[in-house]
Amino acid sequence: MFSVTFAIILPFIIAAFVPFIYRRFKYMHIGWLVMLVPITLFVMLAMLIPSVAGGKTYIHTYNWIPSLNINFTTYLDGLSMILGLLITGVGSLVILYSIYYLSTKESLQHFYCYLLLFMGAMLGVVFSDNLMVLYVFWELTSVSSFLLIAFWNHRKASRLGAQKAMLITVGGGIAMLIGFIMLHNMTGSFSIREIIASIGDFTDHALFIPAMILILLGAFTKSAQFPFHIWLPDAMEAPTPVSAYLHSATMVKAGIYLVARFTPVFGGDQIWFWTVSGVGMITLFWGSFNAVRQTDLKALLAFSTVSQLGLIMSLLGLGSIALQFGYSEDSILYTQATFAALFHLINHSTFKGALFMVVGIVDHELGTRDIRRLGGLMTFMPFTFTVGVIGSLSMAGMPLFNGFLSKEMFFAATVQIMNAEVFSLQSFGIVFPIVAWVASVLTFVYCMIIIFKTFLGPVQPEKLDKPLHEAPMGMLISPLILSVFVVGIFFFPNLLGAYILKPAMGSIYPTFGDPANLTPDIYAWHGVKPELLMTIGVILVGGLLYRLLKKWKPVYGLLSSRYTFNALYNNFLSLAESKSTVLTNKYMSGLLRDYLVYIYIFFILTVGGFFFYSGAFSSALSMDAPIQTFEVILVGVMVIAAIAMLFSKSRMTATLLNGVLGYSIAIFFVIFRAPDLALTQLVVESVTTVLFLLAFSYLPDWKKEAVSSKTKLINAVISISVGAVVVLVALAVLNYERFESISTFFEDAYELAGGANIVNAILGDFRGFDTMLEVVVLFIAGLGVYTMIKLRAKKEDENIENK
């Protein structure tokens, strides 16, 4: 039987073996073996579609950290099924495409290893029920996408693009983690299902709104919502298969998934509604507005992706208002916005994935993506042209393609929301259809740019790096399959609605009963309604604006690049780097004395400050054992030796005085009946004293450095303060009785560990895990030394060969 856990783990397992397989089977392309992973998972998930459509969910829990309520719980329902099919289905096509796109001279073992890591991480995100496990996979998607974006690391732009994506998405992920912890603090659970079931009792909690905002930050950064969208265009420096997979079908949809998954938790709240729908609408407009100005096809698709993600996000926000009313005939109308969001999420993955592959083909075969150098490719690249037209017209929302159906539903949702009698929508709701229509007009314009500027018009062979020719059929298979889905979904949309979208609606509105009531029939023709009139207006005005593009495009020159979010990011990064360099140079002085000062000051402030703030400094000397005369004499000897060491002018004298301190401590061990410690102390002290004397004999004469009075005073204050804190802490610990002593537990060492010696039992058994980690640290250090030696030897061999 198929296990969702298996679906998550399999890509990681295969990723670990990819480098070894690559070395063993160099005669074949490693991509063919890797492609079997997503194909297998897609088939297994597809076999579960009927049961999930019938309302069944698949749950399995593996105990991980049960004491903290953190378990590896996988959960497959209608919503996660959509993302799971996209991750594995589009992943299969992307790998097939990459086999023909990437040269065998590339580091393919690394590419497919990173790709599988990302695939497993994305599956972990959508199938995880535990918030902490979801967060682990969430950040793993950021790490693996960083590696994929920077795959061509010899390019500076690739490295910077990966860095920007990493900083923004990880920053949002940390905010999301804090929100998750707040949710757990409120509900006492990390399980998403349990939180959804009990959240009604916590909507008035003080942490409800802060948790909502922090989780949305994580979703917005991952899904490139305004103003965090700036990382997505720069991420286009990745190879086109990466862009087609991460930035059209999967990674950018993680934030969409998160908002959809948490709609039952926060949906219906006014802040959630305005934040999600408002940010989505701004992103929709801003992405489409910037897409028109681009001259690089991939950059154009990047901003179009930003725009389409904003469209989906705004629909999820509009649909969340249904939870404000509860289940009723009126609220069902508002759920149609969520249905349109899920529908467009699938449609966008098909037509945008195909378009990215088309752009990759143009770049790969002709050596450029610059629109100004292209034109007339229809004759020479008929298959590429066909797929490009299908994808572009679908994105523009034209009939006969799936984008038309979801775009019509989007327009209908924005018109419908004006009738809602909450959140002042009867006054401000008019903004939604206006922004939606304007953004759709701009979307039509840049879709026409793709078609006419790339495939029609005069040919410019003199501006191309390679001769005009069609791509090999192997590279065309994947975009052709996606274009078939673009057309097929238009003619058979209700098949998708009944088996895929219906169970997903049940996941988002679990309290609304039968999800069939939330799943409308999808028709291409639904009469002359506002949404149809809006579409006609988009075609007419969009066509006119495209024809007059040269006359109004100069408006983009009025926008100064100094005041963009990219400039803000670059200025912040530059400032942070310069200030961090100054700060680092201040404490990385190269002087041991400075490092000790920082360590001791930190110790005084943290330990001493905490004990003082918490009132833990307390002592009851009357409860202590009596102090004997010889103990006072021994302490006096140690004090004199320590002070004398500070003023000694000879290394020999200082070493001998240090030995006095060590041997005095050994005597104390004897007095306190710890002969094993005393013996260890004597051996260590004797060996170190001899080593000191031996080393000093090879050093030059000691010339005492001149130290200012101010430095001496600072040293004295710090030294006395550290000593005082240590003494006070020791006295406080002796009289600390808040917790029961653990000594009684270790008294049963023989029964618990089978050790007759309690010290050995503690070190070898009770601290066995700690000891194992220490061994691991030594092992890692050994690997580092071994690697350095091998690299040096290899470099020397190369130098000899060159000579």
Take residue 550 and report the two structure tokens written for it: 């040269």
Residue 63's φ and ψ, nearest 5 degrees, are -65, 130
Residue type, 498: A
Q: Measure the CA–CA gap between 159 and 155, rounded to whole angstroms.
A: 7
* Residue whose structure tokens are 């909507």: 203
> Could you tell me which of 303, 479, 241, 294 has the C-alpha nearest to residue 383?
479
Phi-psi region of 460 (alpha: psi -120 to 50; beta: other; left: phi over 0): beta
Q: Measure the CA–CA gap between 88 and 92, rounded to whole angstroms.
A: 6
Per-residue pLDDT of 598-628, as tens digits, reads: 999 999 999 988 888 877 777 766 666 777 8
DSSP-based three-state secondary structure for 464: coil
Q: Measure the CA–CA gap between 733 and 55, rounded to whole angstroms.
A: 59
DSSP string, 158-209: HHHHHHHHHHHHHHHHHHHHHHHHHHHHHHS--BHHHHHHHGGGSTTSTTHH
* Residue whose structure tokens are 């023909």: 100
Instruction: For 544-609, list the strands marked E by DSSP.
Output: none
Low-confidence ranges of the chain (pLDDT < 50): 1
pLDDT of res. 744:
73
Take residue 723 and report the two structure tokens written for it: 């000593």
Cα distances from 673 to residues 223, 525, 678, in angstroms, run: 65, 94, 9
Q: Record the pTM.
A: 0.84
Take residue 378 and report the two structure tokens written for it: 């229809």
Take residue 464 and report the two structure tokens written for it: 């191309």
pLDDT of res. 365:
93
Q: In this structure, which long-range contacts are made by residues 535-538, counting pairs with CB atoms below 8 Å and at least 24 apart in sequence?
A: 535/397, 535/404, 535/407, 535/408, 535/411, 535/440, 537/437, 537/441, 538/396, 538/397, 538/437, 538/440, 538/441, 538/443, 538/444
Question: HSE-up of 657 (CA within 13 Å, CB side)?
Answer: 18
Residue-wise over 582-602: b if at least 16 C-beta within 10 A, else e?
A: eeeeeeeeeeeeeeebeebee
pLDDT of res. 695:
85
The secondary structure of 90-123, three-state, reads HHHHHHHHHHHHCCCCCCHHHHHHHHHHHHHHHH
Sign of CA dihedral 94, 96, 101, 103: positive
End-to-end Cα spacing for the chain:
62
Q: Measure the CA–CA gap between 666 and 637, rounded to whole angstroms.
A: 13
pLDDT of res. 2:
64
Take residue 792 and report the two structure tokens written for it: 């040096």
| Sequence-distant (≥ 6) Cβ neighbours of residue 7 within 8 angstroms | 41, 44, 45, 84, 88, 123, 127
Residue type, 726: V
Per-residue pLDDT of 681-730, as tens digits, reads: 899 989 988 888 888 878 777 676 777 888 888 888 999 999 999 988 88
